[in-house]
Structure 1
C-alpha cells in the first residue's frame, strides 16, 4: 500500500468535519457490505454496525466509544442503508447496551477477517521492528511502522501504549547493540579522549572543537580548502578513519549525527553516557566522510580554477602575440616594398625580425594552455601538498599516484629539477613537456600533469579515498564480485534483463532497422530533410485544431475558486494528507509546535529567513523556527511528505485526463545564492551565482523527486537517480519514459536508464548531434548515408555486458547512487570496458529514439508536451522561491537537501490544492447542469499561482483542523497482545 492509503491506520477517532473526499476514499460501503448488514441486523441496528465496519476497515482498530461520529459519515450510512440516522452521535449514544455493542464489534471483526495478535505474531512483529529500528531515527517512526505492518496482515491493532512499549523496547535493544559494537571496536581510552578533546575550547579560539566541526564550509577559496583539510587532519588524529563500523547502516549513523547538529553542545552533555557516545562517534564518522567528499570536490574545483586561469592567460598572450605578429608582417611588407635597400640587406633585416621564432611546429591551443599551466608552479604545488592528507589510494597501474609518490620524495629532498636518468609515465599530451631539456620546467610539467591525472582518476574511480562516501573504491560501492557471482540471477530477474547480451541486442537491432526504414520513408515524403552537411531538419510542430487552451473557462474556474492565503492552503492540504505527521514522525503535540513546523517549511522553502518568518507569524519566536528547521533536516522525511501530497493529488479524477503517470520530465531550476557559497557556480543564462534544484515532474504535474545539484555539470545522473527511486515502489505506476533536455543525457546515461527499466528521451539542442550511430554490418537505407555514423562496437558491448549489469543492479539495490555511478563511468572513464559498453549501447539506444522522434510526429509532440508541463511547474517554483538564498544558508549538505525538499513540498502543496479545488468546481458545475468537456479539462493545468498570496502576515487557523492535525487522548481499549 502507498503511504497515503495508511492515512487513518492506527487512529481511534475521526475528525468532526470529515471531508467528502475522505469519505469517498476511505469510508465506502460495497454492495456486499450492504447485503451483509441487511441480512445480519434489523433496520434500527444497521447504522451503528456500518460505522463500526467502516472505521475498523480504515483504521485497523475499533472506534473510540466516546468520539463524535462525523455528520457526513452518518448521513452517508443512512443513505446507503436506507435507514434514519441521527445528525450528531457517538457509539455510546447509539449503543445503549454494552453487550449489543461488543456483539456488533465482534461481528465486524469476523466479517473483515481480522485476527487478534497472538504470541507468534507478536514475536514476528518484534523481529520486524528490530530490523526497522536499524533504519529509523525515532521511536515514533517505529510505532507507525508497527501499525502499518499489523494493518497489512489484517491483524487487530492493539493500544498505543502496547505498541509504543514494544517499539521502545526494540529501539533500545538496537541502541544497546550499537553501543556494544562501538565499545568493542573502539577502546575506552580512545572514546574518553574523543569526548574530552571535542568538548574542549580550541587553542587560540573561543569555540569548542565540536562547534568548529559543525561549522559548514565558507566561500570557495584556498582558505576554505585549508580549513576543510585541517578538520580532516583533526579527525584522523582521533583515528576516526580506522573505526570499523561499516556494519551499521549509514542512514542510521546519519540519524544519530543529526541529533548532534540539532542540539547545543551543553545539552548533549545532559544525556546518558551511552547515548552521548553513540551520537558523538557517528557524528565524527559522518563528518569525516562528508569533509572528505567536500575536500575532493574542492580540490577538483581548485584544479579547474588553475586551468581556467591558464586558459585566460593563454588567450591574453595569444592576443598580444597576434598584435606583435601583425606588426612584424607590416614591417616585412615595408621591407619588401622598399626597393631603395639592396635585396641582401632586406633579407638580413627580415631574418633579424624572425630571429626569435623557432623551428618548432605550431601547437594547439590546448597545448599552449598546458604550457601556461606549468608556469603556475607555486599554486599547483600547494594543491598537491594538500592532497597528501587525504591518503589517496588507487590501482596498481595508476600513473598519477606513482608520480605523486615520486614528487613527495622530491619535496622531502628539496629537489626542484627532474633527474635525467628517471622516466615518468604521463599522458601523451604531457610527454613533450615532461621530457623538456630544461629539467626545472620538466619538474613543473610533471606536477601539473599529476594534478590533472589525480583529478581525472578521482572522477573515474581509479583513485579513491577510503574515508569517503562518493569517492570510495569501486568494489566498495558496487555489489562485491563474489556476491555478484552468487546473486546475479536474482538481480537479473528483478531487472528483467538477460545474462546473454545478444538476447538484448538482437531485438534492439531489429527495432533500429525498422526505425531507419521509417526515417527514410519520412524523408521521401518530405517530413524530414537532410542537407549537404548531413544535418537533419524537422519542421516546427503546429498546434492541432482542438489543441487550444480554453482560457476563458480556466479564468472562470479560478475566479470561482477564489484567492487563498498560503497558511490556509497549507492547513487544508495537511488536513487531507497529514504531511505534518510525516515531517514530525508523529502528530503535533499542540498548535504552537504545528505552526513552528509550517514556519520552518516556509523558511527553508522560500527566500525568507527564520527571523523574518517569525516576524510575519504572530506569537512565534525565531528560536522556535530555527529548531523546527533543524527537525526538517531529518533523513527522508521531506521526501515521504512530498510523496503523500502527490498521492493525494493523484486521487483526484481530473488527474486521469492529464496523463497516466507513465511519463515524466526532469529539469533543473537554478536558485540564486551568495557568490561566497562554497559550491556556488555562475548560471550561464542568468549570469549570477546559483545552485540547482533538479526535479522530476509527472505528466500529471506532481513533483515526484527533487535533489540539489551543482550547476554546469551533466544531469544524466540526477535524472536516472530520481526515476529509479520513484520506480522502486511496487504500489505505484512506474515511469517508463523520461523526457530531458540536452544536459539531462549522456550515452552511458541512455544505456543505464534503459537497463533500469525506462527510456531516456532527450530533446537535443544542437542539430549536429542528430546522428544515427550504427554497427558496421547493419544495413541502412542509402538515403540516410549522410547522417549515419558506423562506429558502434557490438564486441565492446558484449565484453562489458556483465560488469554493466553489475553497475545497474548496484544502482537498483541502493548500494550506489546513479549520480556517483555516472561520474565514475562517464567521460573520465574512457577506455574502461564498462564505459565502452555503456557508451556504445547508449549510442544504439539514442539512434532508436531519434528514429522515432524523426518519423513519428505524435511521439515528438508527446515529448514536447511533457517538457512544457515541466516548464509550467518551474514557473510556479520560481514564484515560490523568487529571491536569493541567505548568505549563511545552504552550506551543509543536509541543509541544502532540506531547502530543496521544502521548496518542492510547498510547490506540491499548491499543485495539490489547485487540483482538489478544480475537481470540486467541476463536480459542482456538472451537478448544476453546466457543460464542461473533458477535452477542455485535459488542457487545463494546476500550475496557477496568481490567486495564492505567498507573503504577508501568516495567520494559521489551526483550531479549524485541530482534531485532524493535533494529538488527541484516546479512551478506547482495543484488544491486547496475547
Structure 2
C-alpha cells in the first residue's frame, strides 16, 4: 500500500487542527454513507456516528483515544448529515452515555466490514511479523508493519501496547535464531579469539583493528587498492569467508553491521556477549563482501586506466610516425630529383630509405594492435594490477578465456623467467594477442601474456563468467537468477506474473504488426517533408515548431510565484511535514519532542546539502553537534528515506493541479553530476564541467515528483539503473504503474530496451547520434521503397527464439527481486557479447528501437512529449543544484550507505520544494480564478513547480515547530490511557 494513503492508519488521535486537503482526501462521506446514516440514526446521534465512520475508516481503530475533533472536520460532517455543528466537540460532549458510544462503535464496525482480532488473525500476524523481522532493523518498523497488515485485512487495530508486545516478541525470536546461526558458524573458542582480535590495536598508530576495518577506501590509487586487499586478507585470516550465514538475510546482517559502524568500540564492548558476537560477525562478513566489490571495481578501473594510457602512447607514437614518414618522403623526393646521380643510384638510394617504412608499416596494421603493443610495454604496472588480486579466490567456467588465463598465470608466475614462456606453457590467448605472445623472446612473450590476462579477466568479471563467492555484485551470474530447478518447476507461474506469452513467436507477432504500421507512418512523414533521407543514408528530422501563445503561460507563471512570495526553507519543510508526516517515516515513530524533530531536520540538511554537521549546528542555534550526528546515523539505516520520499510524492501527485501535468503513467530518468572531492575513490571527471563528480540518478514522474533516486558511478552506462527505478516503483500495487520511461543516450542500450519491454514498460531514448537512426529489421522483411537506404537488416528472430526461455528467466528474477535490474544489466553489457541471453535481448531491443523511432519520427506530439519529460528532469536538476550548491566533503561519500543517504536526502529536500510549490500554486490559482482572473488549464500545463528563486536555502534557520506541534509531536503510536466515558 502507498505510504501517504495510509498516513492516519493506527492513530489513536487526530491533530487539533486538520488541513482542508487532509479533510478532503482522508475524511469524506460518500452518498451511500450519508444515506446509511440518515436511515439508521436520529438527528441527535447522526453526527456522532458519522465521525465514528470517518475515523474508523481512516485509522482502522476505534474512536476511544482522541478527545478533541478538528473544527473543519466537525463542520463538514455536520453539513453532510444535515445537522448543526456544536461549538465544542469532545468525547465527553458527544457521548454522554457509554451505551451510545458502544452502539455506534458496533454499527460503524459492521458498516465498514471491520472485524475484531481473532486468535487465527493473531497467529497469522505474528508469523508475518517474524518474516518482517528477518530484515527489520528496529521494532518501530515492525509496529508499523503490524498496523498496515491489520488495516489491509480490515481487522480492528488493537492498543499500542499489544502492537509493541508483538513486535518485541517477533524481533526477539529472530534475534535468537541469528544468535544460534552465528554460534554454530563461530564456535565459543573461535568467538573468544575473534572478539579479542578485532579490539587489538593495529601497528603504526592505526587504532583498533575494528576502527581500521571501518575506514572506507580513500582516493583511487594503487596504494588504496593494496590497502583494500590487505583488509580482505585479514578478514579471510579470521575465517570470514567460511562462515555460513545463509540463515541470516543480508538486510539483517547489514542492520547489525550498521550498529557497529555507528558506535564507538568502547560502547560496543559493553554489550552482552551473544549480541556483541552477532554484531561483530555480521560486520566482518558484510565488510568482506563490500571490500571485495570495492577491490574488483578499483582493479577494473586500474586496468582501464592502463589501457587508456597505452592508447594515448599509441596515438602519440602514430603521430610521430606520421611526421617521420613525411620527413622520409621529403628525403626520398630529394633523392629522386638529384640530377647529380644516375637514375640507377637514385633508385637504389630511394629503396634504402623506404625499406624501414615497409618494416614499420607491417608491424601494427590497426590502432587496436598498436594499443596492445603499447600495453605490453608497461609490464610493471600491468603485473602489479594482476598481482594485487592474487589473494582473491576467483571461480569461473572451465571454458572461459579469462579464467583459463588467470589460472595459467597463477601457476606460471612462481617459475623463473626462462620457464614462464616455454613453448606450449602458455594457453591460447586468442588471435588478437597470439602474435605478441608467441614471440621468440620469452620476456616479451610473458609481458604480452600478462597484459592479455589482465584484459581477459576484466571482461570475464564484468560479464559474470568469472566470480568471487565472497562478493555482493561479482557473484556467479547464474546464482543471481532463479535456480534452474525452481524455474523448470514453476515456469508458468513466473511467466504469468510477468504477463508474457510462453513462446517468442506469440510475443513477436504483435510487434511485427506494430512495426509495419510504424514504417508506413515514417513513409508518410517523408512524403510530408517532415523527415528527410540525406546523402549519408541517415534519417534527418525537422525541428519541432514552437508552441503558440508562449507569452501568456510565462506571464501567468510569474504572477503566480509573485503571489506566493518569498519563503524560508525551514517553513517549507515544516509545512510539507505537517501535510505528509514524513518525519514519522524517517524516525520510525511520531517525534516525542521538539528537540528530536529539530535534530532530524538538521540531519537532513547535513546529508542533503553541502553543509556538514558542524555548519548546520551553527545555522540552527537550538541544536548541538552531537544531536545532529546521532540523527544523521539514524537515517542512514534501512529504506526509511525511500519511504519518506514516496509519501511526499504521493501527497504532491494527489493535489488537483498535478493532474494537469500528466496522467502519472510516464516518467523521465537522468543523471545529475554532484561535485565531490578528487580524494573519493569512486569519483570520476565530469566531461562537461571538468570536475570530479559522482552521479545521482533520478526518476521524475510526469506529475513532477522524484519517485526514485540512486547514486551511480559517473561515465558508466545508466540503462540498468533506469530500469531499476521503474521496476521498484511499479511493485506497489495500488498506484498507477509507469508504462513509459524517457532517457537520454546514456540510459539506453538495445539490451535494456528488450528487458524493459519484458518488464512491462517502454524505454524511450532521445538519441544523440544520427548514426543511431538506422531502422533495424529482420531478414527477409518487405518494406516500402522509400526506406530501403536507411534499413539495416540485422535483427535475428531466430536469436530471440533461442534465448527466449533464459530471457524470461532473467526478467522473472528481476521481478521477484532476486537480482536488481542494475546488476543484471551490468552483466549483460558489452563484455557479454556472444552470450545467448545478451544476443536475444540485443536483437529484441533492435526491433523495439525501430518501432520507437518510427513513432518518434512520424508523430510530432509523441516526440514533443519525450522532449518535454526530459526537459522537466533538467529543471529538477537545477533545483537540486540550488539545494546542494557545493561539493561533497572529502571525508563523506566513501561508503555506499553514506552515498545513498546523501542521494536520498537531496531528493527529499527537492521533493519537499516541489510539493510545497504545487500546493501553493493550487491555492493561488483557485484564489485568482475566484476573483475573476482568466487562467487556462493549458497555461498551467506548461509551467512547473520546480521554481526555487523565492526560497532562501541559506542563513540562520529558525524552525517554528510550535506552530505544527499538534501534527508532528507526540502522535499515534505512543501507548495511551483509556478515557473514561460517562
Deviations 1:13-42 (A, max 9, x none): 111111001110111122232233333333
Q: Does 1:409 align with 2:411?
A: yes
Aligned to 1:314: 314
Residue of structure 2 equivalent to 1:108: 108
**In 2: Cα distance, 1:489 partner to 1:128 partner:** 27
Farther off after superposition, 245-254 or 469-478: 245-254
Which of 366, 371, 376 is 2:373 aligned to? 371
Between 38-47 and 894-903, the greater mean CA deviation after superposition: 38-47
For 1:879-911, what per-residue CA distance to the aligned partner results, in whole angstroms no more than 9, with x for missing partners? Answer: 111211111111000000001111111110000
Instruction: Give the equivalent residue in structure 1 for 2:605.
Output: 602
Q: Secondary structure of the equivalent of 1:174? A: helix
Is this contact kept in 1: 2:409–2:453, CA < 8 A?
no
The counterpart of 1:815, out of the listed 818, 840, 861, is: 818
RMSD, aligned α-carbons: 1.7
Paired position in structure 2 for 1:492:
495
1:634 to 626, 637, 640: 637
1:289 is matched with which residue?
289
Unaligned runs of 5+ in 2: none
Map of 1:767 onto structure 2: 770
Secondary structure at 1:388's aligned position in 2?
Answer: coil
Q: Deviations over 1:858-879 (max 9, x none)?
A: 2111211211222221221121
- Range that drifts further, 342-351 or 731-740: 342-351
Q: 1:72 maps to what in 2?
A: 72
Kindly tell me: are residues 423 and 889 of structure 1, through their superposed partners in 2, closer, same or farther at Cα, counting changes over 3 Å? Answer: closer
Distance 1:226 1:434 in 2: 28
Q: Distance in 2 between matches of 1:249 and 1:857?
A: 50
2-side partners of 1:677 and 1:824: how far apart? 25
Partner of 1:188: 188
Output aligned runs, 1:249-288, within 5 Å.
249-288=249-288
Structure 2 residue matching 1:68: 3-state secondary structure: coil
Deviation at 1:69, TM superposition (A): 1.6
- Which whole-Å CA distance do the structure 1 matches of 2:792 and 2:464 have between them? 30
Q: Measure the CA separation in 1 of the matches of 2:815 and 2:35.
A: 46
Q: Judge which range, 960-969 or 484-493, deviates more.
A: 960-969
2:968 to 965, 969, 972: 965
Corresponding residue number in structure 2 for 1:612: 615
Deviations 1:254-290 (A, max 9, x none): 1121111111111112222222122111111111111
C-alpha distance in 1 between matches for 2:552 and 2:165: 57
Alignment of 1:549-560 (within 5 A): 550-560=553-563
Q: CA deviation at 1:634?
A: 0.9
Contact 1:134 1:249 in 2 (8 A): yes
Give 1:723-802 correspondences, 5 Å limit: 723-802=726-805
Shift of 1:3: 1.3
CA deviations 1:925-955 (Å, max 9, x no partner) are 3344443222222222111111111111111
Q: Given that residues 9 and 59 in structure 2 are in contact (C-alpha distance below 8 angstroms), is that contact kept between their aligned partners in structure 1?
A: yes
Aligned to 1:915: 918
Aligned residue for 1:533, secondary structure, equals: coil
How big is the shift at 1:358? Answer: 5.1
CA distance in 2, matches of 1:739, 1:974: 55
Shift of 1:126: 1.0
SS of residue paired to 1:242 = coil
Does the 8 A contact of 1:66 with 1:971 survive in 2?
no
| Structure 1 residue matching 2:777: 3-state secondary structure | strand
Q: Which aligned pairs between 1:505-516 and structure 2 lie closer than 5 A?
A: 505-516=508-519
Q: Given that residues 380 and 447 in structure 1 are in contact (C-alpha distance below 8 angstroms), is that contact kept between their aligned partners in structure 2? A: yes
Partner residue in 1 for 2:665: 662
CA distance in 1, matches of 2:62, 2:738: 38
Residue 691 of structure 2: which of 673, 688, 693 is its match? 688
Task: Specify whether residues 974 and 892 from structure 1 end up closer, same or farther in structure 2 by C-alpha distance, changes over 3 A only.
Answer: farther
Provide the rounded CA distance (Å) in 1 between the counterparts of 2:206 and 2:310.
40
Q: TM-score, normalised by structure 1?
A: 0.97
Question: CA offsets per residue over residues 43-78 of structure 1, 9 Å max, x none?
Answer: 233322322222122111223456222111122122
Q: Secondary structure at the match of 1:302?
A: helix
Q: Indicate whether 1:85 and 2:85 are aligned.
A: yes
Q: 1:588: which partner in 2?
A: 591
1:831-858 deviation digits (Å, cap 9, x = unpaired) = 1111111111110110111111111122
- In 2, Cα distance between equivalents of 1:250 and 1:890: 22
Q: Partner of 1:14: helix, strand, or coil?
A: coil
Distance 1:425 1:481 in 2: 32
Secondary structure at the aligned position of 1:760 is classed as strand
- Distance across 1 between alignment mates of 2:364 and 2:191: 63
Q: Is this contact kept in 2: 1:158–1:974, CA < 8 A?
A: no
> Partner residue of 1:335?
335
The farther-off stretch of 538-547 and 608-617 is 538-547
Asked if the contact 1:696/1:705 (under 8 Å) is kept, the reply is yes
Corresponding position: 1:147 with 2:147: yes
Q: Is 2:674 aligned against 1:671? A: yes
SS at match of 1:476: helix
Distance 1:159 1:600 in 2: 32
Give, in whole Å, the separation in 1 of the partners of 2:165 and 2:50. Answer: 32
User: 1:74, 1:87 within 8 Å by CA — same for their partners in 2?
Assistant: no
Contact 2:696 2:711 in 1 (8 A): yes
Mapped contact 2:65–2:979 kept (Cα < 8 A): no
Report how far residue 423 of structure 1 moved. 4.8
C-alpha distance in structure 2 between counterparts of 1:918 and 1:311, whole Å: 55
Deviates more, 1:401-410 or 1:769-778: 401-410
Which residue number in structure 2 is paired with residue 245 of structure 1?
245
CA drift at 1:784: 0.7
**Structure 1 position 104, deviation (Å):** 2.6
Q: Could you say which residue in structure 2 is the equivalent of 1:859?
A: 862
- Partner-residue secondary structure (3-state), 1:284: helix
Report if aligned partners of 1:495, 1:757 keep a CA contact under 8 Å in 2. Answer: yes
Q: Is the 8 A contact 1:533 1:786 kept in 2?
A: no
Give the whole-Å Cα distance in 2 for the aligned partners of 1:577 and 1:179: 38
In 1, the alpha carbon distance for the partners of 2:363 and 2:892 equals 52
SS of equivalent to 2:205: coil
Structure 1 residues without counterparts, runs of 5 or longer: none
Q: State the distance in 2 between where 1:153 and 1:400 align.
A: 54
Give distance in 1, aligned partners of 2:411 and 2:109: 78
Q: When the two structures are superposed, what TM-score results if normalisation uses the length of structure 2? A: 0.97
Which residue matches 1:446? 449
Does residue 876 in structure 1 map to residue 915 in structure 2?
Answer: no
Q: Distance in 2 between matches of 1:540 and 1:860?
A: 10
Listed as ranges, the matches of 1:554-569 within 5 Å are: 554-569=557-572
Report what 1:956 is aligned to.
959
Give the structure 2 partner of residue 168 of structure 1.
168
Alignment correspondent of 1:464: 467
Aligned residue in 2 for 1:850: 853
- CA displacement at 1:354 relative to structure 2: 4.0
Q: Is the 8 A contact 1:61 1:974 kept in 2?
A: no
Residue 577 (str. 1) matches residue 573 (str. 2): no
Residues 424 and 206 of structure 1: CA distance in aligned 2, closer, same or farther (over 3 Å): closer
Give the direction of change, closer, same or farther, for the CA distance of 1:91–1:928 in structure 2 (3 Å limit).
Answer: farther
**Shift of residue 521, structure 1, vs aligned partner:** 2.3
Regions of 4+ moved over 6 Å = none
Aligned to 1:212: 212
> How big is the shift at 1:545?
2.5
Q: Report Cα offsets for 1:715-773 as digits up to 9, x if no partner.
A: 11111111111111111111111111111100101100111100011111101110111
CA separation of 1:577/1:371 partners in 2, compared to 1, >3 Å: closer, same or farther? same
Query: How many Å separate the matches in 1 of 2:198 and 2:207?
Result: 10
Q: Distance in 2 between matches of 1:362 and 1:388?
A: 32
Shift of 1:974: 9.4
Q: Does residue 935 of the first structure (1) align with residue 941 of the second (2)? A: no
Q: Distance in 2 between matches of 1:847 and 1:549?
A: 38
**Following TM superposition, by how much is the alpha carbon of 1:2 offset from its aligned partner in structure 2, in angstroms?**
1.4
